[in-house]
Amino acid sequence: MTAAVAAPASAMAEMRRGWRPLVASCVGLALGLSPHSGYTIGLIAGPVGQDLGWSRASVLGATMAATIAVILLGATMGRLVDRLGARRVALWSTVGVAIGLLLLSATPRGNVTLFYGLWGLLTVLGLGTLPMTYAKIVTRWFNRGRGLALGLMLASTGIAGAIYPFYIDRWIDAAGWRGAFIGLALLPLLLSLPLQYRWLAESAPDEGQAKDGDAIGFTLKQAVSHYRFWAAALGAMLLNAASGGLLTNFLPLLTEAGLAHEQALQALSVLALSITGGRLLCGLLLDRLWAPVAALALIVPAMAGALLLTTDAIHPAMAIGCVILVGLITGAEFDLMAFITGRYFGRRHYSEIFGLQFAIFAIGSGVAPILFGYLRAQTGSYDLLLFLSAAMLAGAAMLFFTLGRYPAEFTQNK
């Protein structure tokens, strides 16, 4: 074995060697399935509803179909990634995203159930472009700088979220909402697919140690029988529930707290940037700190932000600060899941384990908006929601601290 293989590469050396697959992973994730339930449907719901005679709430109901598909099939897709290879799954799923978007552009009038079905089909076809696929590639190329690499990869969805409103708006103005779906389908076909085909290598051909690292790790059966799996999964679900419940209620919450509508929108304008910043910041922290400590460093400020919003008089500057603090932990959620999975369970069945954790994580975003809406209707105030969010964040931190040290066999291999 040569010295280059025996000695762990520095973070800078890893970046010089692995920047191409990292860029391909960033683009594949940004133009894949991830942004569509978070950004696209919110931007396109108004025009779709106006044209087809549906309420905005009815159109947004399609996100539940996506959540159900992820919950039911997340672990199965992860198993395919582990068996067939992340590159192959990513390429075919990128084509699947384009097909799903094209089918949505042909949604007939008067059948919202079919629209839900098509959105669910988009999710099924595009599952292989979710973080579980690209995170497997990134964890193979990066060890010392894994946290930052994962942060950069996941930050790409925030960049897409900043660009999509302008891109979709142009297509709607030029060709209506159906044209917007067609325009969205062109992005994975014309940009993402060629780049991934050229640069999305699963590991460097001369890195035998990387292949050795894939030979060790928990099976899914072993992982789910260990308390660490459930501590990590439930901690991530609580983070997602706390942040997801707040994000979907921020606008009415801020206006009821006394801010003018324009001031509330101004506060929310920093959300996408703070989420992106949270992914990068969390990545940097994960490379330097034990993962539970890195999580705590972002959870405590988010708890403070939620509790500050319960005060009687909220100044616009305070509202912006609170939104930023919540946005940072929202951005950190995927980083934490992807990093913890590799460090505690190894790479042998990484995507399958991550896929099941992702499915449990998705329950939080599916249930929290409904639960928070119910509590708001029952109490007539958002204060209970804010206290509940702070409690869930605290619960997530406590669960992460039960994980213990990283197993040595999963930290010494590339």
Please check the confidence at residue 414 and state whether its pLDDT lies above 70. Answer: no
* pLDDT band (50, 70, 90) for residue 220: confident
Stretch among 209-218, 276-285, 312-321 having the lowest mean pLDDT: 209-218
Rounded Cα gap, residues 105 and 93, in angstroms? 18
Number of Cβ within a 10 Å radius of residue 255:
14
Position 390 scores a pLDDT of 95
Contacts of 284 (CB under 8 A, 6+ apart): 147, 148, 151
HSE (side-chain half, CA atoms, 13 Å) at 380: 0
Q: For residues 379 and 239, state if they share a domain.
A: yes
- Record the pTM: 0.80
The identity of residue 108, as a single letter, is P
Q: For residues 229 and 185, state if they share a domain.
A: no
Stretch among 75-79, 90-94, 401-405 having the lowest mean pLDDT: 75-79
Please check the confidence at residue 5 and state whether its pLDDT lies above 50. Answer: no
HSE (side-chain half, CA atoms, 13 Å) at 183: 19
Please check the confidence at residue 361 and state whether its pLDDT lies above 80. Answer: yes
* pLDDT band (50, 70, 90) for residue 14: confident
The identity of residue 347, as a single letter, is R
Stretch among 233-247, 307-321, 389-403 having the lowest mean pLDDT: 307-321
Q: For residues 365 and 230, state if they share a domain.
A: yes
Distances, alpha carbon 82 to alpha carbons 23, 97, 130, 230, 390, in Å: 21, 20, 14, 21, 36
Distances, alpha carbon 42 to alpha carbons 37, 56, 154, 250, in Å: 8, 9, 20, 15
Please check the confidence at residue 204 and state whether its pLDDT lies above 60. Answer: no
Stretch among 36-40, 89-93, 150-154, 390-394 having the lowest mean pLDDT: 36-40
Position 207 scores a pLDDT of 53
Stretch among 81-85, 311-315, 407-411 having the lowest mean pLDDT: 407-411
Please check the confidence at residue 6 and state whether its pLDDT lies above 60. Answer: no
What CATH number has the domain bearing residue 379? 1.20.1250.20
Q: For residues 92 and 164, state if they share a domain.
A: yes
Rounded Cα gap, residues 371 and 335, in angstroms? 26
Q: For residues 223 and 155, state if they share a domain.
A: no
Position 58 scores a pLDDT of 81
Q: For residues 79 and 176, state if they share a domain.
A: yes
Q: For residues 274 and 322, state if they share a domain.
A: yes
Rounded Cα gap, residues 327 and 323, in angstroms? 6
Residue 402's domain spans which residues?
A: 216-410
Position 177 scores a pLDDT of 92
Please check the confidence at residue 406 and state whether its pLDDT lies above 70. Answer: yes
Position 184 scores a pLDDT of 95
What is the rounded end-to-end Cα distance, in angstroms, of the chain? 14
* Average per-residue pLDDT for the chain: 86
Rounded Cα gap, residues 86 and 28, in angstroms? 12
Please check the confidence at residue 164 and state whether its pLDDT lies above 90. Answer: no
Stretch among 199-203, 214-218, 307-311, 380-384 having the lowest mean pLDDT: 214-218
Position 243 scores a pLDDT of 87
Pick 263 or 105 by higher pLDDT. 105
Pick 33 or 269 by higher pLDDT. 33
What average pLDDT score do residues 82-106 get?
94
Give residue-wise pLDDT tens across range 331-340. Answer: 898 889 989 9
Task: Give the 3-state secondary structure of the chain.
Answer: CCHHHHCCCCHHHHHHHHHHHHHHHHHHHHCCCHHHHHHHHHHHHHHHHHHHCCCHHHHHCHHHHHHHHHHHHHHHHHHHHHHHCHHHHHHHHHHHHHHHHHHHHCCCCCCHHHHHHHHHHHHHHHHHHCHHHHHHHHHHHCCCCHHHHHHHHHHHHHHHHHHHHHHHHHHHHHHHHHHHHHHHHHHHHHHHHHHHHHHCCCCCCCCHHHHHHHCCECCHHHHHCCHHHHHHHHHHHHHHHHHHHHHCCHHHHHHHCCCCHHHHHHHHCCHHHHHHHHHHHHHHHHCCCCHHHHHHHHHHHHHHHHHHCCCCCCCHHHHHHHHHHHHHHHHHHHHHHHHHHHHHHECCCHHHHHHHHHHHHHHHHHHHHHHHHHHHHHHCCCHHHHHHHHHHHHHHHHHHCCCCCCCHHHCCCC
Q: For residues 221 and 315, state if they share a domain.
A: yes
Q: For residues 281 and 132, state if they share a domain.
A: no
Q: Choose the final residue of a domain: 211, 231, 255.
A: 211
Q: Choose the final residue of a domain: 211, 239, 261.
A: 211
Nearest to 29 by CA among 149, 167, 142: 149
Pick 67 or 207 by higher pLDDT. 67
Please check the confidence at residue 209 and state whether its pLDDT lies above 70. Answer: no
The identity of residue 36, as a single letter, is H
* pLDDT band (50, 70, 90) for residue 411: low
Q: For residues 93 and 129, state if they share a domain.
A: yes
Contacts of 236 (CB under 8 A, 6+ apart): 333, 336, 337, 357, 360, 361, 364, 396
Q: Which two tokens stand for residue 66?
A: 């996506």
Q: For residues 235 and 249, state if they share a domain.
A: yes
| Domains held by the chain: number | 2
Max CA distance (Å), the chain: 67
Q: For residues 180 and 259, state if they share a domain.
A: no
Q: Choose the final residue of a domain: 151, 176, 211.
A: 211
* pLDDT band (50, 70, 90) for residue 347: confident
Q: Which two tokens stand for residue 133?
A: 């696929």
